[in-house]
Amino acid sequence: MTATELRLSLPQGLTSFIISVMAATGKILGFACNSKNQQIRTAIRAVLGRVKARTPRAWKRILEKIQRFEVRKMADGDLGEWISEYDGPSMSEVAKICFAAKTAAEIRAALLMEAKFEDRTQWPGIVRLCPTIARTADYAVATVAHEIGHAAATAKDMQHRNAPDQEWASEAAADRYAYLWGFGREIRSRIETRSLGHHGPARGQCIEWEGKYYRLNRRFSYEEITEAEFRK
């Protein structure tokens, strides 16, 4: 039923109420979202609009990958999460299995597992967002851009981060997309919510890791630096 048909068949007050509810909970650029919070919906719309306009290839990927946006309470300190349906082993588990494989059958299974791991970024999933991100427009936009960045990232994107840790590669790849879409200011504005251990350094920050020193450079790649540069 269209809005005009609705208008013709119902009293006016009820019609405008139904139309406003439809507008408040409908899809956002084709993506389902369970929240009526206008701050969050506006942020999702703004980020999706930029992805579509600036990175058509990433837009194609997220159309295939993001099943919906789900706004619900999360654990303390968590603002958002990209929940991929990938159900395979982690990189260290794959390495362990490959190392231990002896028989032809074991080697075949290990190679299959490795291929599945290489393909993990192509799996669909959902973007989960915590309602607390609605506290400011910048918070909402930064979180949405970062989580959509996770969905947009490919295995190659992660490799190019040259990160000493897989989790940090994924975080840097997500932030890189948020910057590409023009949300660098918003990402910087929520820097105090970062945990160095979980997210790795922010752009321009340095870190010491297993006796080596790194800087996350402007292209969101980990660059090895000297101890003197680190201490500067």
Binding site for Zn ion (CB under 5 A): 171, 174
> For 103, which DSSP code?
S
Pick 140 or 174: Cβ nearer Zn ion:
174
Cα separation of 192 and 203, whole Å? 14
What strands, in cross-sheet order, belong to the sheet with 125-129?
32-33, 66-71, 125-129, 80-84
Tokens of 16: 């405008």
Upper half-sphere CA count for residue 10 (Cβ side, 13 Å)? 15
Work out how close the CB of 54 gets to Zn ion at its nearest, in angstroms, rounded to a whole number.
Answer: 20
Work out how close the CB of 24 gets to Zn ion at its nearest, in angstroms, rounded to a whole number.
Answer: 28
Work out how close the CB of 85 gets to Zn ion at its nearest, in angstroms, rounded to a whole number.
Answer: 17
Write the single-letter amino acid at 126: I
Pick 94 or 174: Cβ nearer Zn ion:
174
Cα separation of 149 and 168, whole Å? 14
Cα separation of 152 and 169, whole Å? 13
The helix or strand, by DSSP H or E, that contains position 113, with its residue range, turns out to be: helix 104-118
Work out how close the CB of 123 gets to Zn ion at its nearest, in angstroms, rounded to a whole number.
Answer: 16
Cα separation of 172 and 199, whole Å? 8
Work out how close the CB of 138 gets to Zn ion at its nearest, in angstroms, rounded to a whole number.
Answer: 17
**Alpha carbon distances (Å) from 117 to 27, 87, 88, 140:** 32, 9, 7, 31
- Please enumerate in sequence order all residues whose Cβ is within 8 A of that of 73, keeping only pairs 6 or more positions apart, or say none: 130, 131
Pick 175 or 214: Cβ nearer Zn ion:
175
Cα separation of 162 and 148, whole Å? 21
Work out how close the CB of 178 gets to Zn ion at its nearest, in angstroms, rounded to a whole number.
Answer: 10
Work out how close the CB of 214 gets to Zn ion at its nearest, in angstroms, rounded to a whole number.
Answer: 18
Pick 171 or 186: Cβ nearer Zn ion:
171
Pick 46 or 145: Cβ nearer Zn ion:
145
